[in-house]
Amino acid sequence: MLENIRLSFQGIWAHKMRSLLTMLGIIIGIAAIIAIVSTIKGTSEQIKENLVGSGNNIVNVKLYQGEWTYTSGDSSTPENMPMVTDDIKNEILAVDEVTAVASYRYGALYEGINSGTKDLGNAPVYGVDKDYFRVMGYTVQTGRLFEDQDWTNYTKGVILDTVAANTLFASENPIGKTLEIKGEPFIIVGVVEQIDGFTPKVTNMNDWYTYYGNTSSGQVFITDVNWPLIFSFDEPYNLVVKPAGTDAMTNAGKKTADIMNSYMPATSSENVSEGGTDEDSSSSSFKYKSEDLLETAKAMQEVSASTSQQLIWIASISLLVGGIGVMNIMLVSVTERTREIGLKKALGARKSVILMQFLTEAAVLTSMGGIIGVGAGVGLAYLISDVASVPVAISGAAIAISVIFSMVIGIVFGFIPSVKASNLNPIDALRYE
């Protein structure tokens, strides 16, 4: 075998240009596949990191109306929605996958949040419980968090995140200043930042709008007991749970949703008028569901994988073309070396020896093309990353498979020329000119 490999390298070196042109199809195909797999893998990892995060990995459990998230202030909200009491929290905390839980109310205000002449614009307002900031991983930048007496005395305090504080007050200290929310005055008691949260990788404007566009004005927090001062309707509670780990996110969210749904009024799932259709029932029913970010990430990764497979099949066409090129050049090689083959057979070389020699030469030729293609593919992947601002994750498995696959191509497409060489009649081969 080693002798065959040595002879293969000699033959390739003797016809350098011809060998390079023969390998070109293999090089292009392998390089394209490596670049595609690396780019798609990098994108998939970014999707999971951006959706799931790398810090608190909080799971939101929200109220849904049919298949859609409940809309704030909807007049069709059923009565007697469950309050998140201490007993319900303890029941949720008893779930093995849950380490902490908090409840909140949410409302989006497109105007009406201002301090003096400055308006915050599109900003969400949260009515939070005593555990919210701890569970979400917020830390105080200045001022303080809400205290027990703020709930007991219905203190009209408000907390801003750093984005909202900078938007309204720039370099000023906002503590003690008045913030009006829909005409109701609140005193700013603190500014917080979500230190334990993750920072999405933003590589283009689409990413920025996806992860920051909806909260670019910042966030405003009040105590949940003061919620009726701003919103006249009885807004249902949502929850956030902190799972024991990333892998526990799905179960933590689903089990929390199941507990909340067990306290839902019976009419919430049958909130339709008499004579309504099943479709009407589905659209007006209320149910708690968890935002399963792992499943979302998985679904998006599957889309990326599907696209990747299609691109790989397209890139594989060049491998097929390269394999045909290998077959062609090996047939030429057999023709050129007919007398050599005849001499070897006359000296007693068996058909299997001739067959292995030409198969080895074809495998070495395509393997070299595969190795060069891997290098070109890695370089191409990083070039695409720099030019298109997309993440890249080089796959060691893809590299190994590519080199092995290129060798298999050499064996498959080199088989017919090798068989032809091994079946040559030694007398006819020696007479060939």
- pLDDT at residue 370, as a whole number: 85
Same-domain pairing of 93 and 39: no
Same-domain pairing of 246 and 119: yes
Query: Is 289 within a domain?
Result: no
Distances (CA, A) of 432 to 156, 166, 331, 339, 415: 103, 88, 15, 6, 22
204-228 pLDDT, tens digit per residue, is 545 444 444 445 578 999 999 998 8
Same-domain pairing of 89 and 226: yes
Same-domain pairing of 257 and 379: no
- How many domains, in total, are found in the chain? 2
Domain boundary among 238, 263, 288: 263
Same-domain pairing of 244 and 327: no
Same-domain pairing of 92 and 145: yes
Tell the residue number behind the tokens 């029941």, with chain if given.
91
Containing structural domain, residue 162: 82-263
Q: Cβ-count burial of 400 within 10 angstroms (0-12 exposed, 13-18 middle, 19+ buried)? A: exposed
Query: Is 277 within a domain?
Result: no
Higher local confidence (pLDDT), 58 or 349 = 58
131-182 pLDDT, tens digit per residue, is 999 998 899 999 999 999 999 999 999 999 998 999 899 888 999 999 999 8
Same-domain pairing of 360 and 421: yes
- pLDDT at residue 235, as a whole number: 72
Same-domain pairing of 259 and 132: yes
Residue 384 pLDDT class (50, 70, 90 cuts):
confident
Residue 271 pLDDT class (50, 70, 90 cuts):
very low
Higher local confidence (pLDDT), 369 or 425 = 369
Higher local confidence (pLDDT), 131 or 202 = 131
Tell the residue number behind the tokens 């690396």, with chain if given.
38
Higher local confidence (pLDDT), 120 or 398 = 120
Domain boundary among 237, 263, 289: 263
Same-domain pairing of 92 and 199: yes
Same-domain pairing of 105 and 206: yes
Residue 338 has pLDDT above 80, yes or no: no
Query: Is 58 within a domain?
Result: no
pTM over 0.85: no
Same-domain pairing of 114 and 243: yes
Residue 48 pLDDT class (50, 70, 90 cuts):
low
Query: Is 71 within a domain?
Result: no
Query: Is 191 within a domain?
Result: yes
Query: Is 376 within a domain?
Result: yes
Domain boundary among 263, 283, 317: 263
Query: Is 69 within a domain?
Result: no
In whole angstroms, what is the distance from residue 48 CA to residue 54 CA?
Answer: 10
- pLDDT at residue 208, as a whole number: 45
Query: Is 171 within a domain?
Result: yes
Same-domain pairing of 86 and 46: no
Strongest mean pLDDT among 110-124, 132-146, 348-362: 132-146
